[in-house]
Amino acid sequence: MRLTQWTDYALRVLMYCASHQQREHAPTIAEIAEVHGISRSHLMKIVMELSAKGWLSTTRGRGGGLRLVQDPSQIVVGEVVRQMEEDFTLVECFSTEGRSCAIDANCRLKGVLADALQAWMRVLDGVTLAELVATGTGVSTVPLTAVKRRKAGSDA
C-alpha cells in the first residue's frame, strides 16, 4: 500500500487549508508550494483537481486563495485517497486487463492482499481532515517564516 506523490500532495494541500482556515487571507498555491517545497505548476494541477472534485474553492487575484468547501470534519481521508488515486492494483492478478497468473487457481496471496487493502482503507475511512490537523496531534501548522529560517540557516 503506497500513495502516489499526487495524492500525498493533495492531502497536504487539504491539511494546510484546514489548519489555516481561520485566517483572514486564504492560503495561496505559492505559499503552500514554498512551505512544502513543491513545484507551483505541479501544485496548481493538483489544486485544480481538488477544486473539480468539490473539496476546494479557488479565488484568483489579489486577496484570492484556497478555501475548503466543506468543514474539515466532513472530509474523510479514505474518500480523498479513493478519488485521487488512479490504481489500487497491488499485484498483477488484481488487474482487470485480462492478464492471467499460472497459480491463480491455487493462490491465497491475492485474498490476503485484498484483505490488507480493505483494512488499510478502513483505517483511512476512520479519519477526517479535522482529526489530522487537530491541535496536539503532532501535525504542525508550520508558519511560513519558520520554514524560510530553517532553509536559510541549516540543512536540517
Contacts 24+ apart (CB under 8 A), 109-115: none
> Which CATH number covers residue 56?
1.10.10.10
Per-residue pLDDT tens for 87-118? 877 766 666 666 667 776 777 888 888 899 89
Q: What is the pTM of this model?
A: 0.79
* 72 within some domain: yes
CB 109 within 8 A of CB 117: no
- How many Cα neighbours within 13 Å face the side chain of 139? 16
Instruction: Say how many domains are in the chain.
Output: 1
Range of the domain at 43: 5-145
Bridge-partner residues for 57, per DSSP?
67
Residue range 48-74, pLDDT digits in tens = 999 999 999 999 888 889 999 999 999
Please check whether residue 35 lies inside any domain of the structure: yes
